[in-house]
Amino acid sequence: MSTPERRLNPTSLLEFCATVLSAGGASKDDAACVAAHLVDANLKGHDSHGAGLLPAYLRHMERGQVNLEASDQVLADTSVILRIDADGGWGAPAGQRLVERASAKAREHGLAAATLGHVHHLGRLGAYAEQAAAAGLVSIHFVNVTDHAPLVAPYRGTDARFGTNPVCIGYPATATRPAFLLDMATSQIALGKVRIAANRGVALPSGSLIDARGMPTTDPSGMAGFELEGALTPLGKHKGYGLAFACELLAGVLGGGGTIQPGTPRRGGISNGLFSIFIDPAAFGEPDWMQAETDAMARYALASPPMDWDSPVLYPGDPERAIAGKRAKEGIPMDEVTIGQLNTVAEALGVAERL
Ligand code: NAD
C-alpha cells in the first residue's frame, strides 16, 4: 500500500530547508543556496535530489562531512582550464561558482574545461547545465561519487563497485525551442528513487536492483535509509557501466578528488568530483544556421508517430519543464514519511517551523 502524500508550497518548503540548514550550522548564504537547489530539484520532478535529502545533509554537518568553513582552492587557472578543489564545502554554491568562472572563459576562447574536486553533494547536475545554457553555452558534465559505500554493480558483477555517476549534456535554447537537457544517472535508476520507493511502499521496476546475494529483486526496502543491502544495476548493461567508469576517470582522476576504489576515504558522507566542458556554439559555426538546424532536427525527431498517443516523443528537458510548471502552481507532492523525517530534523535542532 502506498503512503499518503501532501502538496507543499514551494516557497514555504524553501524557507523551511534554509532555516533547518542554518540551524544546523550552514552560513546564511550557503543555506539559502543549498535550499534553493533542493527545492528546484523537487520542482523539476527529481524528488530524489530534493528536500528529502535534508536529514542526510544534517547528518553530514554533525559529523563534519561537509566543511562549513570551506573556501575554493584554485589549483589551475589558465585561459581555458579551471581546476578547483572545493575543500569539502557545499555542492550547490561551489558548482554555481565553477560554472560562472568557466563560462566566462568559454565565452572568451570558445571552449573551457573545468574540474571540481572534494565537493559535497552537487545534487541535480542539470541545474549547472541549465545555468550554462541560460548563458548561451553548451556544457557536458561527468560526476563521480565518493565518501560512501558504492551502490552500483559493474556489468557482469554481483556487488556494488560504483556510484550512480551522472552524465549531463546541456544545449542552449533556440528562438523557438527551449534548452536541451540530458541529465541522467548511469544506474538504471537513481539511488534517491529507491529511497522514495521505499518510503512510498512501492516496488521498483524489475532489472533495476540486485539483492545482497546478487539476485534480481524489485523490493527497495533493503536500501532505504541509505543502508545498502544489494546493488543498483548499470543503465543499459555494458554501456552504462562504461559511462560510470568514464565518470571515475574524468571526474575522479582528472577532478583530483579520487575514485571510489577503497583507498579513497568512505566516511558515510557524499563527496562528488566534477569534470565539465563548456562550449560557445558561436565558435563552431554560423549561429543562424545552427539554430535552424537544431530546430529542424528537433521537429524531425519529435514528429515520430508515438506508440501511445497519450505519450508523445519529447525533447530531453521537456519532462522537467512540464512538471515544474505544474508543481509551481499546484505545490510539491511529498509523502508523509519524508515529511515526518524533515519535521523530526527540525525538532531536533530546536526549529519551530513544521511542514
Ligand atoms: P531521469 O531518468 O528522470 O531523466 C534522465 C533524462 O532523461 C533527463 O534529462 C530528462 O529530461 C530526460 N527524459 C526523461 N523522460 C524523457 C522522455 N520521455 N523523452 C525524452 N527525454 C526524457 O533522471 P535520473 O537518471 O533518475 O537522474 C536523476 C537526477 O539524479 C539527475 O538530476 C542527476 O544529475 C542526479 N544525480 C546526481 C548524483 C550526484 O551525486 N550528484 C548522482 C546520481 C544522480
Look at residue 195 in the predicted model and tell me its pLDDT: 77
Taking only the tens place, the pLDDT of each residue in 262-278 is 999 999 999 999 999 99
Q: Which residues contact 264 (CB under 8 A, 6 or more apart)?
A: 146, 147, 252, 257, 258
Look at residue 227 in the predicted model and tell me its pLDDT: 59
Task: Give dist(CA 18, CA 245) in Å, integer.
Answer: 35
* CB of 222 sitting under 6 A from ligand 1: no
Q: Share the mean pLDDT of the chain.
A: 95
Q: Are residues 24 and 134 in the same domain?
A: no
The alpha helices in 157-283, defined as continuous H runs, are 191-200, 238-247
Q: What residue numbers bound the domain in which 50 lies?
A: 1-62+317-355
Look at residue 303 in the predicted model and tell me its pLDDT: 98
* CB of 141 sitting under 6 A from ligand 1: no
Look at residue 237 in the predicted model and tell me its pLDDT: 95
The CATH number given to whatever domain includes residue 240 is 3.30.1370.60
SS (H, E, C) 111-171: EEEEEEEEEECCCCCHHHHHHHHHCCCEEEEEEEEECCCCCECCCCCCCCCECCCCEEEEE
Task: Give dist(CA 320, CA 154) in Å, integer.
Answer: 29
Going from the Cα of 6 to the center of ligand 1, the distance in angstroms, rounded, reads 24
What is the count of structural domains for the chain?
2
Task: Give dist(CA 156, CA 257) in Å, integer.
Answer: 27
Q: Which atom of ligand 1 is nearest to the CA of 313?
A: 19
- Minimal-distance CA residue to ligand 1 atom 27: 184
pLDDT at 225 over 60: no
Cβ atoms of 92 and 124 closer than 8 Å: no
Cβ atoms of 4 and 334 closer than 8 Å: no
Residue with cell 534517491: 192
Task: Give dist(CA 121, CA 94) in Å, integer.
Answer: 10
Q: Is 257 exposed, middle or buried (0-12, 13-18, 19+ CB in 10 A)?
A: buried
Going from the Cα of 320 to the center of ligand 1, the distance in angstroms, rounded, reads 9
Task: Give dist(CA 310, CA 307) in Å, integer.
Answer: 9
* CB of 118 sitting under 6 A from ligand 1: no
Confidence grade of residue 224 (pLDDT, cut at 50, 70, 90): low
pLDDT at 247 over 80: yes
For 133-156, what is the mean pLDDT? Answer: 97
Higher pLDDT, 195 or 111: 111
For 19-45, what is the mean pLDDT? Answer: 98
First to last CA, the chain: 23
Residue 169 lies in a domain: yes
* Cα dist from 145 to 18, 107, 122, 155, 308, whole Å: 24, 29, 10, 18, 37
Q: Are residues 25 and 81 in the same domain?
A: no
Q: Are residues 102 and 247 in the same domain?
A: yes
Q: Which of 50-64, 102-116, 194-208, 301-315 has the lowest mean pLDDT?
A: 194-208
Residue 202 lies in a domain: no
Residue with cell 528546484: 40
Q: Is the dihedral of CA 41, 43, 48, 50 positive or negative?
A: positive
* CB of 234 sitting under 6 A from ligand 1: no
For 70-92, what is the mean pLDDT? Answer: 98
* CB of 185 sitting under 6 A from ligand 1: yes
Q: Are residues 164 and 283 in the same domain?
A: yes
Residue 30 lies in a domain: yes
Q: Which helix (H) or strand (E) holds 23?
A: helix 10-23
Residue 4 lies in a domain: yes
112-141 b/e with 16+ CB inside 10 Å = b?
bbbbbbbbbbbbbbbbbbbbbbebebbbbb
pLDDT at 252 over 90: yes
pLDDT at 226 over 80: no
pTM: 0.96
Q: Are residues 178 and 255 in the same domain?
A: yes
* CB of 122 sitting under 6 A from ligand 1: yes
